[in-house]
Amino acid sequence: MWNFLKRHRDSRSSAQDLGPYSNYRMAIRLELTQRAGVFAQLANAMAEENASLGAMDIVSATRTKIIRDITVDVQSEEHGERVLQRLNTLPDVRVIASSDRIFLMHLGGKIRVESKFPIKTRNTLSMVYTPGVGRVVKAIANDEKQAYTFTSKSNSIAVVTDGSAILGLGNLGALAALPVMEGKAMLFQQFAGIDAWPLCLNTQDSEKIIQTVLAIAPTFGGINLEDISAPRCFEIEQRLQRELEIPVMHDDQHGTAVVILAALLNALQVVDRPIQDITVVVIGLGAAGIACCELLLGAGITRLRGCDKQGWVLHRTITELLPHRHNLRTLIQYDAPTGTIQDALTDAHVVIGLSTANILKPEDLALMAKDPIVFALANPDPEISAELAIPSCRVYASGRSDYPNQCNNLLSFPGIFRGALDVQAKSINESMLLAAAKALSKIVPESALSEEYIIPSVFDKQIVPKIAKAVAQAAIESGIARRTKKETEEEM
């Protein structure tokens, strides 16, 4: 880990903290004089402007001119403008065009609908639409279960938001949430083969959201709630779970909790501690924090301390916690902390941060028990950086892609919904979430477990099928699957 951190610091310094995945990536078409030294002049200018040159392609060339497309990572839109101005001052360089590659990727939206069959003849038209479709309509009217067989319902998810908690950007409204929900739909389709539809609702009234989702629910096999602020997200999810007989999950809560539990199970193997013997501190008791606490209790945690920025606000014995583990909010005293975060961390084995940047210091980790596990999951900046945390902990994980052990919701939600849809589950329960976490943890072979490898890459192709199989089996065993065990096994 120390060698990695050194390489990481060196690369970030040389690229002025741009990293390999800059949010400000420009594509620039340039006309250069065709003579020696011109490109070196260009590269030197980019270095002086602290811009990072990426891909370079030749578009065309003559004896006197060469046209190149270059990719440049910059620090901000303003920085990008300065880079373009600098390029225009170079005597042998002319800027033909420039564009922001991220905006180009979103141009016209990122998703579309495609038919499974081409409609090229009257015969096909009469079967997919009227009059032939009338027979299917009658079949579904006589037996509603036929909708799972003869429509897209069995493989469709609604991704529902009100735009009140978009990523880490805050309450920006329904329209601003659409690019994120389109991206979520892409992830469902490409990682799990699920057709997902972004539904950005122009209301933040909880009751109106509930009634809207109830009204559109017949179209879908499941509902994924996304980027809805706490505490409203709890009420919305719970009401929809009670009133609908399809899976409803707020991914920001339970998707996060599943990934954290999976990473923790493997981290505990690295430090050789049983889950029943550890003390866990969760900092940040919003949507994700509460769901994390509830799932940890379901997994066998016996000592749990919850904190927000004001201090220690969840301090109950395991006998008090367990009866309320599906509604921990009733036990949290946000306005009456019983101690500081430092009090909670004393002698703890694990700290899970779901709060805000830089809230922890190395001296706080020094209060913990031997070989502490630190999950600093605030985005984009963690509660404590790896550089500061590693000297004081045994295992470190974050939400960032430029450190080892990235805890990303993408590791969980495609497989969870895939498994729920495969057996036409009526809901997503705790047994299914625990099964998902255990399946995810086992994807990392025991022989390969280490401080730097406790969770697989999001691109590991084993993740979705293994989680889906475990989730489907848990749904069958808990009696909420519409499909029989035999039907499911035949397809698996």
8 A C-beta contact, residue 289 and residue 234:
no
Order of strands, edge to edge, in the sheet holding 93-100?
52-61, 65-73, 25-33, 93-100
Does residue 129 have an active-site annotation? yes
Q: With the C-alpha atoms ordered 110, 210, 420, 326, is the resulting torsion angle positive or negative?
A: positive
Phi, psi angles (nearest 5°) of residue 424: 50, 50
Query: In sequence order, which residues have a C-beta less than 8 Å from that of residue 193 and are 6 or more positions away?
Result: 155, 418
Helix (H, G, I), strand (E, B) or coil at 24: coil
Check if the beta carbon of residue 385 is closer than 8 Å to that of residue 378. no
> What does DSSP assign to residue 240?
H
How are beta strands 248-250 and 222-225 bridged, if at all? parallel
Half-sphere exposure of 268 (CA within 13 A, CB side): 22
Confirm if 179 and 173 have CB atoms less than 8 A apart.
Answer: no
Pairwise CA distance, residues 68 & 488, whole Å: 54
CA-nearest of 204, 179, 31, 16 to 109 is 179
DSSP secondary structure string, 50-92?
Answer: T-EEEEEEEEEE-SSEEEEEEEEE-SSHHHHHHHHHHHHHSTT
Residues 6+ apart with CB under 8 A from 73: 15, 18, 22, 24, 25, 26, 51, 52, 54
Active-site residue, from 24, 153, 184, 466: 184
What is the DSSP code string of 157-184? Answer: EEEEE-SSSBTTTB---HHHHHHHHHHH
SS3 222: strand
Q: What is the DSSP string of 457-473?
A: -TT-TTHHHHHHHHHHH
Catalytically annotated residue among 6, 21, 65, 129 = 129
Q: Which residues are the active-site residues?
A: 129, 184
